[in-house]
Amino acid sequence: MIPVQKMPITDQVVEKIKASIIDGTYKEHAKLPSEQALCIELNVSRSTIREAFRVLKTMGYVELKPGRGAFVSSATGYELMNVRDWFRENAPRLKDFIEVREAIETLAVKIAIEKGSPEEYKKVNMISSQFLKALDANDVAAMAHLDETFHETIVNMTHNSLLININNLVSKEFKKYRSISFAVRANAESALESHKLIVDSLMRRDTAAATESMVYHLHRVVIDMESLINE
């Protein structure tokens, strides 16, 4: 049996601090506890707290003030207008990444069908199911993590070290996009739909359909982004 997908420690810390911001434990514009205090409270390292603060900043919940610490910037994260402005500013660069991802991931699904193990097929299907649960819970951090894991798992199914290393480099640059994009529910729903098509094609070992589904998915990313920008 495949174990339940575990969320990294940093993501767990992000969710705990975010929940405390949303429920009002930490008020808007208030200073958050120090890194040391949170390390003790959550039993994690200082580097984990710092990374969690960076993620929360990306999500629009926290403002980092040099020499002063972390402050609550919003109890709702990014508002739609802020997300739209970010996409407008970063659209050209994101489109470049999508072109590279299309080259990498269409090749990956072809090889994955040939080389993927039964356990890996089960894992990618399970991740898609977990994404649905995260969407139902409106858990943006979990959706971002699961989306990254979904694509990473497919590439890892190729067992091609060069392809895996290239994908890792691209994936790191795409982290901020995922966190911001899934703050818009329509984008998350679109991703879920595409994931299901990809999983179905993989399960049927249908190379043509898997390739087509991956291209559709990545094109939808661009369409969703442009739709939001032009609203």
Radius of gyration of the chain from Cα atoms?
A: 18
Residue 159: pLDDT above 90? yes
The CATH code for residues 9-72 is 1.10.10.10
Nearest to 202 by CA among 128, 130, 121: 121
CATH: 1.20.120.530, 1.10.150.120, 1.10.10.10, 1.20.1250.20. Which one for 80-229?
Answer: 1.20.120.530
DSSP 61: S
Mean pLDDT score of the chain: 88
Residue 81: pLDDT above 70? no
pTM over 0.85: no
Residue 22: pLDDT above 60? yes
pLDDT over 90 for what percent of the chain? 55
Once rounded to an integer, what is the mean pLDDT over residues 88-93? 82
Question: What count of other Cβ atoms lies within 10 Å of the Cβ of residue 151?
Answer: 26
Residue 4: pLDDT above 50? no
Ramachandran quadrant class, 208 (left: phi over 0; alpha: psi -120 to 50; beta: rest) = alpha
Q: Where are the domains of the chain?
A: 9-72, 80-229
Residue 102: pLDDT above 90? yes
Where in the chain does DSSP place strands (E)? 62-65, 69-72
